[in-house]
Amino acid sequence: MSITLEQAEKMVSAAKKKSAEIDTKMNIAIVDAGANLLAFARMDGAWLGSLDISIKKAKTARFFDMDTGIIGGLSQPGGALYNIEHSNGGLITFPGGIPVKNAAGEVIGAIGVSGSSVENDHTVAKAGAEAC
């Protein structure tokens, strides 16, 4: 099972709403169960450099089915996943990527958000993920 376009659009809408509430501008990417880009939005004025980061956060979250912030903790020197960010064509291992699950708990896709502090990125991604 994979995330639908309708679900992805709801997630983008919820993420944009949360971004506006906290007064920031974000790049928001949604990938399906195969880590393929399904939906994307770049809010007016969002950083151009964060476009690719948001997509890679979504893909990273789906590739490993965990929040990118958790992967970041495991990828520090001496960590179990040290240097993992160099795999899969480049991963992003700081907060802002969250896997999305269906009611049965199966991962059906992921959201990646970038454009502000990692705390804000995670907050906006969480709002999007919860809208699915």
What is the domain count for the chain? 1
Residue 41 DSSP SS3:
strand
Q: How do residues 48-102 score in pLDDT, each as one tens digit?
A: 999 999 999 999 999 999 999 999 999 999 999 999 999 999 999 999 999 999 9
pTM of structure:
0.96
Three-state SS for 115?
Answer: coil
User: What is the domain extent for residue 25?
Assistant: 5-130
Evaluate if residue 1 carries a pLDDT over 90: no
Tell me phi and psi for residue 29, to 5 degrees: -120, 140
**Domain CATH for 39:** 3.30.450.150
d(CA 114, CA 56): 10
